[in-house]
Amino acid sequence: MEVGFIGLGVMGRSMARHVLDAGYSLTVYTRTTERAQELIDAGAYWADSPKDVARQCDIICTIVGYPRDVEDVYLGPDGLVANAKEGTILIDLTTSTPSLAQEIYEKGGLRAVRSLDAPVSGGDIGAREARLTVMVGGDEDAFEKALPVLQTFGKHIALMGGAGAGQHTKMCNQIAIAAGMMGVCEALVYAEEAGLDQTKMIETISTGAAASWSLSNYGPRIIAGNFEPGFYVKHFIKDMEIALAAAADMGVETPGLQLACDLYNELAEEGFADMGTHSLYKLYSLTSDTSGTSSQ
């Protein structure tokens, strides 16, 4: 069986490497050719286009940037759906729109090409250490066949429902994180202005109902002034905009998400698009009146 991998960004390179290291024969394609070199040196084959990958592989993973990139790779005359062999399983690991996942599933179905939407969470570290969470939508038998490949880089892998359910679950993930990040940043900037020891504040409130992964993991980086990306602001904005559109489609009100997305767009305009999501703290620092009287 030949596995294909399209999209060798920070996440994709680590994930493809795990597939290769697990012993699969691997064919790769990515727009920026140099990004494939290390994998080719390690034994992967190069393909010149998604179409070439489609013609050679039985299971094809993709992780590209935006929904429009997913459309480019999957749909149209040179895309995966039109050129994959019958029975091929296409796995889109990109965080993309639920409706596009459903469209790919339906168009693939007309040619007996299977597809799964399987966005991940866990960031670059999770990808390097092969402990990503993978949220999958699609048919159970395709899921079972794809599972050994997903297990090479995923630790928690769950079939969430039919086509689009993986993307919907990832949207729930981003919705929960988005509002939570406002809470973390507001608590930290409040603590600073109140003259509290921010580290001690985090330690203390993390013993109770305010505990969260974001507070424990991003809090200390914020205090240290380290805003390097785990996850990019620009990508988070993309995800929140997908979630907002999907929520609006379903008639779901998400005012917390909307506010978070507005604030992150402001943050990007301030020049933080390529910083980590926890740099939202900087927006609060910029807008808060630091001449305010500390009551400590």
Residues designated as active site:
170
Q: Give the separation between CA 89 and CA 84, rounded to whole angstroms.
A: 9
The residues in 263-292 that bind its own copies, with binding defined as CB under 8 A, are 263, 284, 287-292
48-73 b/e (C-beta count within 10 Å ≥ 16 → b): eebbbbbebbbbbbbbbbbbebbbeb
The residues in 72-111 that bind its own copies, with binding defined as CB under 8 A, are 98-99, 102
Q: Check residue 32 for interaction with its own copies (CB under 8 A).
A: no
Q: Give the separation between CA 90 and CA 100, rounded to whole angstroms.
A: 13
134: phi then psi, degrees, rounded to nearest 5: -120, 120
Kindly tell me which of 77 and 208 has the beta carbon lying closer to its own copies. 208
Interface with its own copies: number of residues (CB under 8 A): 85
Tokens read off for 127: 């990808």
Asked if 157 and 147 count as a contact pair (C-beta separation under 8 A), the reply is: yes
Q: Give the separation between CA 34 and CA 137, rounded to whole angstroms.
A: 32
Q: Give the separation between CA 217 and CA 214, rounded to whole angstroms.
A: 5
Q: What does DSSP say about strands 132-137 and 120-121: parallel, antiparallel, or unpaired? A: antiparallel
The residues in 120-159 that bind its own copies, with binding defined as CB under 8 A, are 121-123, 126, 133, 135, 155-156, 158
Binding part of the chain for its own copies, among 26-34, 75-83, 86-94, 186-194 by CB under 8 A, reads 186-194
Please give the full DSSP string across 54-102, using - where no structure is assigned: HHH-SEEEE--SSHHHHHHHHSSTTSHHHHSPTT-EEEE-S---HHHHH
In whole angstroms, how close is the CB of 119 to its own copies at the nearest point? 11
Binding part of the chain for its own copies, among 41-49, 68-76, 139-147, 174-182 by CB under 8 A, reads 174-182
Q: Which of 191, 222, 267, 268 binds its own copies (CB under 8 A)?
A: 191
> How crowded is the C-beta side of 195, counted as CA atoms within 13 Å?
5
Kindly tell me which of 56 and 121 has the beta carbon lying closer to its own copies. 121
Kindly tell me which of 23 and 292 has the beta carbon lying closer to its own copies. 292
Q: Which of 22, 82, 179, 223 binds its own copies (CB under 8 A)?
A: 179
Kindly tell me which of 49 and 151 has the beta carbon lying closer to its own copies. 151
Q: Which of 197, 228, 269, 274 binds its own copies (CB under 8 A)?
A: 197
Kindly tell me which of 44 and 267 has the beta carbon lying closer to its own copies. 267
Residue 223, SS3?
helix
Binding part of the chain for its own copies, among 52-60, 65-73, 117-125, 145-153 by CB under 8 A, reads 117-125
Kindly tell me which of 82 and 247 has the beta carbon lying closer to its own copies. 247
The residues in 216-255 that bind its own copies, with binding defined as CB under 8 A, are 217, 231, 243, 246-247, 249-255
Q: Which of 204, 228, 269, 271 binds its own copies (CB under 8 A)?
A: 204
In whole angstroms, how close is the CB of 296 to its own copies at the nearest point? 6
CA 194 to chain centre: 35
